[in-house]
Amino acid sequence: MDRLLQSIKIGVNDKIYVKDPESSSLGKRIIEDSIIMIHDMGFDKFTFRKLGDRIGSNESSIYRYFESKHKLLLYLASWYWGWLEYQLVFATNSIANAGDKLGRAIEIVTQTTEEDSSFSHINEVMLNKIVIHEYSKSYLTKEVDQENKEGYFEIYKRLVGRLSEMIAAVNRKYSYPSSLASTVLEGSLHQHFLLDHFSSLTDCQEHTDPTDYFKNLVFNCLNKPNHV
């Protein structure tokens, strides 16, 4: 990706944080290092105290940015989906043919994040792995309905909506565009997880990856099996 990314800002719902972490250097270190730590030790073992120790700051200062580690996870996930949405729109915007557009969209949302844009403090490669391993925990809670009402999942829902519309544009008669879009997004995370931990449960490997699988799946569902 190019330098445009340097200047765009992902618009995370401001109710997710107490103070915008993009507004200070401490905030940026909280984001940068929490990504590394959650990636390395997992969300469950990650604590604000450990993060404070690592960045040479105090636990209480971190609470000035996020009221809980759950909110921090919501923030990281929202940022990731916003970033992916940007990639999606950027890469598909100029494609006129609906089938080509959808094919490109599936590539964007299912492929492994390979490169850190290295323009920001955010390591997208690690963040992608965090989303694969931890995203479900952000909504598999008793508070999900309340938090959904407060808009904490807006970006993700918008992304599913975009994919759903691209699916519908290819075949208006297909009955399940939203279910298929949510299956591709969630299923992609799951296939990548299986690849790492349960390889017998997936056919994806070096030569066939989740992208191939999902393109085949989606275009077969839409009765355009030879499109890509």
Selected from 13, 47, 111, 178, the binder of a copy of itself by CB under 8 A is 178
**Contact between 63 and DNA per CB under 7 A:** yes
When the beta carbons of 57 and 178 are compared against DNA, the nearer one is 57
- Contact flags string 32-51 toward DNA, x per CB under 7 A: -------------x-xxx--
Q: Which of residues 184-213 bind a copy of itself (CB under 8 A)?
A: 186-187, 190-191, 193-194, 197-198, 200-204, 208, 210, 213
Site string for a copy of itself, 10-49 (x = CB under 8 A): -------------------------------xx-xx----
For DNA, the closer of residues 39 and 192 by Cβ is 39
Q: For DNA, how many residues bind (rule: CB under 7 A)?
A: 21
Residue in 6, 97, 136, 150 binding a copy of itself, rule: CB under 8 A:
136
SS (H, E, C) the chain: CCCHHHHCCCCCCCCCCCCCHHHCHHHHHHHHHHHHHHHHHCCCCCCHHHHHHHHCCCHHHHCCCCCCHHHHHHHHHHHHHHHHHHHHHHHHCCCCCHHHHHHHHHHHHHCCCCCCCCCCCCCHHHHHHHHHHHHHHHHCCCCHHHHHHCCCCHHHHHHHHHHHHHHHHHCCCCCCHHHHHHHHHHHHHHHHHHHHHCHHHCCCCCCCCHHHHHHHHHHHHCCCCCCC
Contact at 8 Å (CB) between 57 and 34?
A: no
* Residue 44 Cα to chain centre, angstroms: 19
Residue with smaller CB distance to DNA, 22 or 165: 22
Cα angle 140, 149, 192; round to 5: 35
Residue from 9, 15, 19, 137 binding DNA (CB under 7 A): 19
Does 54 contact DNA by CB under 7 A?
no
Residue closer to DNA, measured from CB, 21 or 103 = 21
Q: Exactly one of 13, 33, 64, 151 binds DNA (CB under 7 A); which one?
A: 64
Q: Where does this chain touch DNA (CB under 7 A) — which range of 19-27, 77-85, 96-104, 139-147?
A: 19-27
**Contact flag: residue 78 with a copy of itself (CB under 8 A):** no
Q: How far apart are CA 201 and CA 199, in angstroms?
A: 5
Applying CB under 7 A, the residues found at the interface with DNA are 19, 24-27, 45, 47-49, 56-61, 63-64, 67-70
